[in-house]
Amino acid sequence: MMLMPFLLLLAVAPLGTLASLPYPVATTYNSLDPQASAQFMIDYFGALSIPSNTTSCSSVTSSWVRFPTSNYEFHFISTPSLAADSFTFSDFEDYAHLSFGNLTEVSASTYTQFMDFHVGMITDDMTPFYQALKVGGVPFFMVGQYPSFFDLFVEIPGTATILEITSQRLDVPDAKISEWDICQVNGTSSSWKLDPQPLPNVSSSVARDGSRGESWPVINWRKTTMAAPHPALAEIFTIKHLGGKHVQQGHPGVWVRRCAKISWVEFEYPEGTYLPGGINYQFHFVDGYKYPPHEPEMTIETFAEKVEKEVRDFGGDSFDEFAHNRVTMWVDDLDYYAEQLVGNEFGVEWIFRTDGGGVYYLVIDSAGITGNVIELVSDKAPVGAADVKTWEEDLCQNSEQ
């Protein structure tokens, strides 16, 4: 069974270098309360509020924030008028949010498949973020994963998704960081393994940002992890169609027979590219098909199938509520990427959109294999730009302007 994707991988001809590689710009999330989601990013992580580009018709609520230095943006949006009758974002939130365990502990019931939808950011110093979350009484947990790195996992309110922050430094001697046993074979809330030691003050690769009136460390982009129905195919798709490169997945205790299928790809930017954290961008695709609890009512496979069958219609040039959940990357030429998709063997469909002000979007429904929609954005008009629908036409149906 596993042989086929592997052989396919060997046969993959990577994209040429004719176009710029996709460069991380933003992540968009459905939210039950966009204002509260944005405020959470501001209060606990030092993001800055920015005006939303989204149209201001009455059926849309949206709230945007940006991280200084990297300029990475988080967009939160709610469009109840787009909800499909059979399956709404609100239905999904009810299920996924409740499936998460008590995030204050790492036990066999904490980590679920849907928590693999998480953007991963990186900071030189976790200390102030850790302290802010503690003071605010926000549930979160931390796991160690590399010789010296550790990750903090917290839920963004209203979105049923997780934010992951990676760091090497935490000046809090009694903080608990458990071993990253994703399969939870021995995992219990009492099996704390790592005692983080305050690290010596290493010199920061990035300056602290004082814009919040305090001196918070900068948070930079690092990766997007997607709960992917088909991680191996997702990797091949990303290599063939988006210019990614294979990279060895970094969870030594995790493999397909134990609990999860995992594939990683990296965008290896040419020398001279601005990399705010000093690292390339990665996609991590994970199907935690055997995570505890072992028999979820809805898995990431059945979720993806449900969205594809009951909600999505990119073939009919129609946008939907679930397509809000997507990662956005900048490219210099949308036509180049659209041409690569023509006749693709994955059955992946796509639509073009514009903000009506000279910015164009190629919205790719790879969600059936990668878990999330992937959007490319450019200020170069694609062929046929005059016929491209505006976001307003999608989002403002049945509403007063």
Binding site for ligand NAG (CB under 6 A): 25-26, 53, 102, 104-105, 171, 185-186, 189, 198, 201, 357, 359, 377
Residue placing its CB nearer to ligand NAG in the complex, 83 or 106? 106
CA 308-342-19 angle, to 5 degrees, is 110
Residue placing its CB nearer to ligand NAG in the complex, 25 or 373? 25
Residue placing its CB nearer to ligand NAG in the complex, 58 or 197? 197
Chain CA centroid to CA 214, Å: 28
Residue placing its CB nearer to ligand NAG in the complex, 44 or 140? 140
> Edge-to-edge strands of the sheet including 140-144?
178-179, 140-144, 150-156, 161-167, 118-123, 219-227, 281-287, 261-267, 245-247
Residue placing its CB nearer to ligand NAG in the complex, 189 or 344? 189
Rounded to the nearest whole angstrom, what is the least distance from the CB of residue 73 to ligand NAG in the complex? 6
Residue placing its CB nearer to ligand NAG in the complex, 254 or 286? 254
Rounded to the nearest whole angstrom, what is the least distance from the CB of residue 328 to ligand NAG in the complex? 6
Report CA dihedral (271, 275, 278, 279) to the nearest 10 degrees.
Answer: -90
Residue placing its CB nearer to ligand NAG in the complex, 240 or 353? 353
Give residue 356's identity as a one-letter amino acid code. Answer: G
Provide the 10 A C-beta neighbour count for residue 84: 17
Q: Which two tokens stand for residue 327?
A: 């990662």
Q: How far apart (Å, rounded) are the C-alpha atoms in residues 30 and 180?
A: 28
Q: Do residues 57 and 84 lie in contact, with contact meaning Cβ atoms separated by under 8 Å? A: no
Q: How far apart (Å, rounded) are the C-alpha atoms in residues 299 and 118?
A: 16
Rounded to the nearest whole angstrom, what is the least distance from the CB of residue 360 to ligand NAG in the complex? 10
Q: How many residues does the chain have?
A: 401
Rounded to the nearest whole angstrom, what is the least distance from the CB of residue 176 to ligand NAG in the complex? 10
Rounded to the nearest whole angstrom, what is the least distance from the CB of residue 38 to ligand NAG in the complex? 15
Please, which residues have CB within 8 angstroms of residue 28's CB and are 6 or more apart in sequence? Answer: 74, 75, 76, 77, 324, 325, 326, 328, 375
Percentages helix, strand, coil for the chain (3-state, rounded to 5) are 25, 25, 50
Residue placing its CB nearer to ligand NAG in the complex, 66 or 246? 66
Residue placing its CB nearer to ligand NAG in the complex, 272 or 357? 357
Rounded to the nearest whole angstrom, what is the least distance from the CB of residue 64 to ligand NAG in the complex? 8
Give residue 91's identity as a one-letter amino acid code. Answer: D
Q: Do residues 347 and 368 lie in contact, with contact meaning Cβ atoms separated by under 8 Å? A: yes
Rounded to the nearest whole angstrom, what is the least distance from the CB of residue 228 to ligand NAG in the complex? 24
Residue placing its CB nearer to ligand NAG in the complex, 113 or 178? 178
Rounded to the nearest whole angstrom, what is the least distance from the CB of residue 169 to ligand NAG in the complex? 8
List the one residue out of 302, 306, 301 whose CA is nearest residue 321: 306
Q: How far apart (Å, rounded) are the C-alpha atoms in residues 263 and 287?
A: 9
Rounded to the nearest whole angstrom, what is the least distance from the CB of residue 253 to ligand NAG in the complex? 6
Rounded to the nearest whole angstrom, what is the least distance from the CB of residue 308 to ligand NAG in the complex? 26
Helices and strands (DSSP H and E) totals, the chain: 9, 18
Give residue 363's identity as a one-letter amino acid code. Answer: V
